[in-house]
Structure 1
Amino acid sequence: MIQLLVIAKAPVPGRVKTRLCPPCTPRTAAVIAAAALADTLAVAGAVPAVRRVLVLDGDHPAPPGWVCVPQRGNDLGRRLAYAFADTALPGVPSLLIGMDTPQVTPALLAAAGHALGTNRAVIGPADDGGWWALGLTDPADAAVLPEVTMSTAVTGRDTRAALHGRGAGPLPLTRLRDVDVAADALAVAAACPPGSRFARAVARHLTGAPEGVR
């Protein structure tokens, strides 16, 4: 059994998904971000876990039964490292995901959790060169993350190399596309299951389609 961590930013206009603007406005970008977070939390809530934690920058309600832990650190690498350290449960592996892959499924998360049963670390590569998921059996291995430059085309490669340096070479998971710009949002929305809040928000606010689409 694993612990699931969702690291997220409160969907406040002007603070989230700013690379969607234009064509979005800060308000509609925040609506899309809120939908992505809602879908992600719903999927994570459907996966068996010892504990589910929302590691949050800002103020946003966590689902019932979730623990909410504030982010800390001056940059993303440190925030990720502290997310693992501040939520560590002895003997329980942690799987961390973000809010930018709302197309993720319970089956993908369950497979990642299963892989953590026999591997010290797992990583889910993203199409842009980063990663969408990182699982660690030892939270101390997250100490390498502040050394990795985040949000670049080689972040995934450098994260894998840093973990290899600790003897924690990660097993790769399924590759996913995360949402950075409008083209990503459209592609990810098309990959979401029926009923997706994210797909509906994109259809309404990014493509101009009627609200009833999907």
Structure 2
Amino acid sequence: MSGGAGVTLLVIAKEPRPGRVKTRLSPAYAPGEAAQLAEAALADTLAVVRDLPARRRVLALDGSPGDWLPPGFDVVPQAAGGLDERLAAAFGGCTGPTLLVGMDTPQLTAELLAPALADDAWSACDAYLGPALDGGFWALGLSRPDPELLRGVPMSTDRTGAAQRRRLLGAGLRVRELPPLRDVDTPADVPLVAEAAPRGRFAATARRLAAGDRPAPGRAAR
């Protein structure tokens, strides 16, 4: 098998529950509203991954699945520890070429991931890295998933992407970059990401919240 059909697609995410996700969106967005945006971002991401050619689709989840999860995914629990340990464990459960994406880039498209899913994607490349505009990374592909390539990399800083790239190069890997994307981390990111993917569920949720159609106090967020 070659190309996308031989790749494991790995998504790492938190269950979109109020108070547990997108806390940096507050106070501009209430916890329930932030959870709505997180759920929409996750749903958009999973929809793209569902439709891509893959040997296996895996969701490494902190929490429990909900009705936002489409069929076709193997759900595995995230490991304990910091983000580097959780990412390392997620890769450690995979074999063969594996491409990781997070839940923070609902503007994800098949075209953005196409270089890592082409028939010759891994013939002259050992790793793919998708840099995020905040200094992190939104995608990481490894031809041979090695947890030690992630353990100890400082996460959630403006130097994370550069540190991860140094780790890959230091291991002698040939690295190709995917296009940079903006993560949804702060309130300012919400309209910019929605504009980049105006037809998605995330954009529709952002527009609805901006228009003031917000759940009444005590009403469960969806």
- TM-score between the two structures when normalised by the length of structure 1: 0.91
Post-superposition CA distance 1:63-120 (Å, at most 9, x none): 212100110031000000000001x22xx30000000000010111222222345311
Structure 2: which amino acid aligns with 1:125? Answer: P
Cα pair 1:5 1:52 within 8 Å, conserved: yes
Letter in 2 for 1:201: T
Where does residue 51 of structure 2 map in the other structure? 46
Are residues 96 and 68 of structure 1, via their aligned partners in 2, closer, same or farther at CA, if it must alter by over 3 Å?
A: same
Percent same amino acid at aligned positions? 51
- Tell me the secondary structure at the aligned position of residue 167 of structure 1: coil
Deviations 1:164-186 (A, max 9, x none): 11112421110111110011111
Evaluate the alpha carbon distance shift between residue 189 and residue 12 of structure 1 in structure 2; reply closer, same or farther with a 3 A threshold. Answer: same
Cα distance in 2 for partners of 1:27, 1:153 equals 27
CA distance change for structure 1 residues 210 and 14 in 2, over 3 Å: closer, same or farther?
closer
Which of 108, 133, 140 does residue 127 from structure 1 map onto?
133
Q: Is the 8 A contact 1:4 1:49 kept in 2?
A: yes
Amino acid at match of 2:103: M
SS in 1 for 2:39: helix
Q: Is the 8 A contact 2:191 2:206 kept in 1?
A: yes
| 1:208 correspondence with 2:204 | no
* Counterpart residue identity of residue 20, structure 1: L
In the alignment, what sits opposite 2:218?
none
Mapping of residues 1-214 of structure 1, within 5 Å = 1-61=6-66, 62-86=69-93, 88-89=94-95, 92-114=96-118, 115-140=121-146, 142-194=147-199, 196-205=200-209, 207-208=210-211
For residues 30 and 104 of structure 2, the distance between their equivalents in structure 1, rounded to whole angstroms, comes to 18
Q: Greater helix percent: which structure?
A: 1
Please give the secondary structure, in 2, of the residue aligned with 1:54: strand
Report if aligned partners of 2:198, 2:204 keep a CA contact under 8 Å in 1: no
d(CA) in 1 for partners of 2:196, 2:122: 26
CA distance in 2, matches of 1:5, 1:118: 22
The whole-number CA distance in structure 2 between the counterparts of 1:198 and 1:17 is 13
Instruction: Determine the C-alpha separation between the residues in 1 that align with 2:86 and 2:112.
Output: 24
1:73, 1:82 within 8 Å by CA — same for their partners in 2? Answer: no
TM-score by length of 2: 0.88
8 A contact 2:129–2:137 mirrored in 1: yes
Distance 2:196 2:49 in 1: 17
- Unpaired stretches in structure 1, ≥5 consecutive residues: none
- CA RMSD, 1 decimal: 1.5
Q: Is the 8 A contact 1:77 1:149 kept in 2?
A: yes
